[in-house]
Amino acid sequence: MNDNRLLLRLSWPAIAGLLFGVTAIGASFAQSPAQTSATTGKTFIDYFQPTPILSPLSTTAWGAATVGPRDQKNGLEDPTMKLWDYWDGQIIHGPDGKYHIFASRWDESFGHNAWFRSKAVHAVSDNLIGPYIDKGLCWPDDQEGKGHNVTALVLPDGRYAIVVSESRPGDVFVSSSLDGPWKNIGKITLVPNEFSAHERMSNVSIMVRPDGAFEIVPRSGRIWISKTGIIGPYTVQGPPIYATIPELAVRKSEYLEDPAIWFSGGLFHITVNDWNDRKAFHLTSADGIHDWTFRGLAYDPRRDFVRYTDGTVNHWNKMERPSVFLENGHVVAVTLAVIDVPKDDEKGNDGHGSKVIVIPFDGAAFDRDLQQHK
């Protein structure tokens, strides 16, 4: 089944404990000091691959000239930049053979800082790279479709879930079809404990662990675990993992955001973005809870890593809200929400805006190299 490609990382309850020996994961854990700077000589950014060109690279497309000639059929965008700014972006390969991306959009005429008006949308492509065609709002009859910080996943029972988390742990919508209808089944909840009292709730990234439990990392960098389903309640496992990693502890905690979590190559992975420095970093852990290892740079818009098969390079001003698409247990593509100018400079109706791009990634080599340098 095509959607089982994503399930490879989402539901392996039969091998619980055999892989990790994790016990009593609903309890509070004392955080262990992180390992740091384990390296293969390469970091996450070195495994991005050249992007196939779907349409002639345009020099007249919307956006700042500093972005460079680009393919407007890559990912999800409004090619006219007269209707929508797009953000977020999580891909699921459906049983229909198509690629479904769940993202957010808002009226471009209000500029980037109207993101708080964003609504969750569903777009579809015949090709992993794009173009993705906007099919409209996911739940038009629920809060007029409101949704930001949109992510999506396949549930262990084969249904699909979308989580939105603007400033709270998240509203969860579930459907038996990627085309909907989507039912709001409630908000994610936490078990009150010493770590949850002052939790920062937004920007959640969620996965189903190989042992069948749900794991969330929110903006705070704490790890949440639920053994009772996607709604929870989740138990916060300890203080923010970023505080245990010297390379991240020196950064202001409010600058760290947009974590993305997944499992591949026998390790749990997180990328986390420093919005002030416009860089993101990569971490790994054997059990997804303890001993997070700093692996170095994940991406940086100033580096030449967004490139096409003809060698042309793009440089977006900011790249945020990463998500990964897995196939056969490895990351094969990364999506990023991108904007061509500083966010405050995108005023609406000014030829600037945002979209979701899709970049191929050599996850098999990435996982192999990490295994050799654990």
Q: What is the pLDDT of residue 372?
A: 86
Give the model's pLDDT for residue 12: 37
Q: What integer is the mean pLDDT of 342-355?
A: 97
> What are the pLDDT digits (tens) for 226-282?
999 999 999 999 999 999 999 999 999 999 999 999 999 999 999 999 999 999 999
CATH code of 368's domain: 2.115.10.20
CA distance 174 to 145: 14
Here the tokens at position 34 are 């992180």
Per-residue pLDDT at 8: 36
Q: Quick one: pLDDT at residue 4?
A: 38
Q: Where are the beta strands (DSSP E) in 69-221?
A: 84-93, 99-107, 119-125, 133-137, 150-154, 160-164, 171-175, 183-187, 205-208, 214-217
Which tokens is 45 given? 């950014």
Whether the predicted pLDDT of 29 surpasses 80? no
For the entire predicted model, the pTM comes to 0.89
Place 166 in a pLDDT band, splitting at 50, 70 and 90.
Answer: confident
Half-sphere exposure of 38 (CA within 13 A, CB side): 17
Residue pair 115/346 in contact (Cβ under 8 Å)? The answer is no
d(C-alpha 325, C-alpha 313), whole Å: 22
284 neighbors 267 (Cβ within 8 angstroms): yes
Amino acid 22 reads V
What is the band of 170 on the pLDDT scale with cuts at 50, 70, 90?
confident
Burial of 266 (0-12, 13-18, 19+ CB in 10 A): middle
Q: What is the pLDDT of residue 2?
A: 40
Number of domains in the chain: 1
Strand partners, 269: 262, 284
152 is in which domain, residue-wise? Answer: 4-372
- Rounded CA-CA distance 3/176 in Å is 12
Going by pLDDT thresholds of 50, 70 and 90, the confidence category of residue 35 is very low
Tens digit of each residue's pLDDT (9 = 90 or more) over 299-321? 999 999 999 999 999 999 999 99
DSSP string, 68-89: -SB-TTSSB--TTSSSEEEEEE
Alpha carbon distance 67, 44 (integer Å): 22
Q: Closest Cα to residue 296, out of 40, 50, 48, 49?
A: 40
pLDDT for 201-215, tens place per residue? 788 999 999 999 999
- In the predicted structure, residue 81 carries a pLDDT above the cut 50: yes
Q: Poorest-confidence range of 72-76, 101-105, 166-170, 327-331?
A: 166-170
Residue 33 has pLDDT above 50, yes or no: no
Tokens of 90: 């999580």
The CA distance from 326 to 4, in Å, is 10
Separation CA 2–CA 97 (nearest Å): 6
- What are the φ/ψ torsions at residue 36 (nearest 5 degrees)? -135, 150
The pLDDT, as a whole number, for residue 40 is 55
Which tokens in the block code for residue 15? 């091998």
Identify whether the C-beta of residue 105 lies closer than 8 Å to the C-beta of residue 85.
Answer: yes
- Top-confidence residue, 267 or 169: 267
Residues 6+ apart with CB under 8 A from 55: 71, 72, 73
Cα–Cα distance, 113 to 71 (Å, whole number) = 25
